[in-house]
Amino acid sequence: MDTLFQKREKYSDYNYKIYDLISPNKKVLDVGCATGKLLERLKKEKDCYTVGIEINGGMARKAKCRCDEVIIADVEKLSDLSFSDKFFDIIVFADALEHLKRPDIALKRFRKYLADYGCILISIPNVAFITVRLNLLLGRFNYTEYGLMDKTHLRFFTLKTVKKLIGESGYKIIYIEGYNQVRNRYFFLKPLGRLRKTLFATDFIIKAVKS
């Protein structure tokens, strides 16, 4: 049986939507960077200065070979970084906030490290996706090894509640997209997720600036 580390390794590929939203020559902090695949591409292909934070030591060691710096730490216990205020142009929370007990505190804590002209980029699962709704109608709310109902998720969000979280944490949303990174046989979900994201998007991609 796979260990939790092996499962995370298997599903730790980078999010190409987040990658596309990052311009060259930026200072990027990836909160929950896993094995650093996103940061590796940003460093090699867009000449970005890349820093990651990762709680898992095995994954962090792999990330260290791929980016400029990796901090091995629990995000929720990390009080300060060795960077000056407003240092980063972009702070990424890619599939990270749902794993935290208090994502609002994390968003507020990292806000001081974001440049005034910078932005945060978030990808977060949509608990109101159609299959979750149908299962609830049948009285089922079962956790899985990965995906929308990943058993390591501590918080669940709809589009409305994630907007509230971001707004109350001191940010203003400037872009939202429904996003589906699915197998080829589910290709029809990609346009549906963009058109009706509250129902057919498995995840939301969000760009926000300081409010």
Residue 140 reports pLDDT greater than 80: yes
Please determine, for residue 182, whether its predicted confidence score (pLDDT) is greater than 80. Answer: no
Checking phi first, is residue 95 left (phi over 0); if not, alpha (psi -120 to 50) or beta?
left
- 174 pLDDT higher than 60: yes
Measured CA distances, 39 to 88, 124, 138 (Å):
14, 18, 41
Percentage of the chain modeled with pLDDT above 90: 76
CA of residue 24 relative to chain centroid, distance: 20
pLDDT, residue 2, reads 38
- Domain 4-126+154-210 of CATH type 3.40.50.2000: no
Q: Is the pLDDT of residue 48 over 80?
A: yes
| Closest residue by Cα to residue 135 from 152, 149, 155 | 149
pLDDT in tens, 7-40: 344 444 778 899 999 999 999 999 999 999 999 9
- Summarised one tens digit per residue, pLDDT across range 53-100 is 999 999 999 999 999 999 999 999 998 999 999 999 999 999 999 999
Is 8:31 a contact under the CB 8 Å cutoff?
A: no
Higher per-residue pLDDT: 203 or 191: 203
Q: What is the pLDDT of residue 37?
A: 95
Domain boundaries defined on the chain: 4-126+154-210
So what's the pLDDT on residue 183? 57
Average pLDDT, the chain: 90
H or E element, residue 161: helix 159-168
Residues 121-140, mean pLDDT to the nearest whole number: 94
Among 87, 42, 89, CA closest to 66? 42
pLDDT attached to residue 79: 83
Helix axes 159-168, 103-111, angle to 10 degrees: 40
pLDDT at 186 over 70: no
